Chain A
Amino acid sequence: MELLEEHPKVLAQFAMGDLAAFETLFRQFQAEVYGWIVRIVRNPSAAEDLTTETFWRIYTAHARFDPGRSFGAWSRRIATNVAIDYLKTAQSRERHIAGNLSPESAEDPRVDNPAIQRELRERIQLAFQQLPAKLRVVAALALLEQCPHGEIAETLNISTAAVKSRLFRAIAVLRKKLGNLDTSHA
C-alpha cells in the first residue's frame, strides 16, 4: 500500500475515471478489501462477490475520491457499507441456514474447549447471526477478530464510545437470546 501512496499519479488518474489506474488499485487492494469483508460477513464465497461489488461502487464513485487522501481507508469504508447491506438482506436466509446446519456448525478441530458442545455452539452461532447488522459488525470485528476499537470506530465513522456501546448491546442481546445457558461452560 505504501508503494502506491508514493504514486499519487495513479490515484489522480483513477479519480479521472481511468480504467488502467483502477485495475492497478484493484490488484493492489483486492486482498485487503476481501480480508476485511470476510471478517464481517464470515462467508468466503459471499465475501468474493462483495469484494467485486465494493470495487464496482468504488469505480462508479471515482469522481468523489480525493487523490490526496488514503485509498485504503476509503475502500475499507465502502467495503464495510457493502458488508452491512449484505448482512441486512441476508439475515433471514442465514437464519434458515443456521436453523438447519451452518458450515461453521460442523465439527471444528480448532475449537479447543471440549466442554463447548455442538448444540451449544449452534445456538450461539444462530444467536450471533440473528444480531442486528450494526451490532453484528462490531461484535465480529471486536470479539472474534480482535480488531482495536479505534480501528473499528474509524471504519464505521463512529466514536470509540459508540463502538463500546454497540459491543455491550450485542453481548446483551446474545445473552438474552441464549436465555438460561449455563455460561460457566466457558
Chain B
Amino acid sequence: MHEEEQKKVADLVKQSLRPMKRELTRDLWPQMLLRLDESSRDRPWYAVLLSPAALSSVPWFDWALLAVLIIGICAFPRSIPVWLYHF
C-alpha cells in the first residue's frame, strides 16, 4: 500500500469517527462499592476474615494479646480449661 493511499484511508477514518468526549459525568464510587459488596458476598467467610484488608485493620495490641495467649497455652497446657471458662 502506498503511503499516499494509507494517508487517504487514515483521513477518511478520522473524518468518519469523531474523538470521544472524555469527561466523566458522574461519580462511580457507589457502583464500585456495589461491586466490592457483591464480591465479598461470593467469597467464603474465612477468605473475608483472613483477607489482607481485614488483617491489617486489627490493632497491634490485639496481635500482642493473641501472642501472649498462645505462648501461655503452649507453656501451660493445663490452663486451657481456665481460659475456656473465662471466654
Q: List A residues at the B interface (Cβ < 8 Å).
A: 16-19, 23, 26-27, 30-31, 34-35, 38-39, 42, 44, 48, 51-53, 55-56, 59, 62-63, 104, 108, 110-113, 116, 120-121, 124-125, 128, 139, 143-146, 168, 171-172, 174-175, 178, 181, 183-186
Q: Residues of B at under 8 Å CB distance from A? A: 1, 5-6, 8-24, 26-29, 31-32, 35-36, 39, 51-53, 56-57
Establish whether residues A108 and B18, one from each chain, have CB atoms under 8 Å apart when the complex forms: yes
A175 touches B22 (CB 8 A): no
The residue that A52 contacts in the complex, of B1, B20, B22, B32, with Cβ under 8 A, is B32
Q: Taking the nearest CB of chain B, how far is it from the CB of A159, in angstroms?
A: 20
B56 near A44: Cβ-Cβ < 8 Å: no
Query: How far apart are the CA atoms of A28 and B1 in the complex, in Å?
Result: 44
- Whether A42 lies near B17 (C-beta < 8 A) is yes
**Residue of chain B at shortest CB distance from A19:** B53
Across-interface contacts of A34 in B (CB, < 8 A): 22, 24, 28
In the bound complex, residues from chain A placing their C-beta under 8 Å from that of B5 are 175, 183
* B52 A48 Cβ-Cβ under 8 A: no
> Which residues does chain B contribute within 8 Å of A175, judged by CB atoms?
1, 5-6, 9
Instruction: Check if B16 sits within 8 Å of A139, measured CB to CB.
Output: no
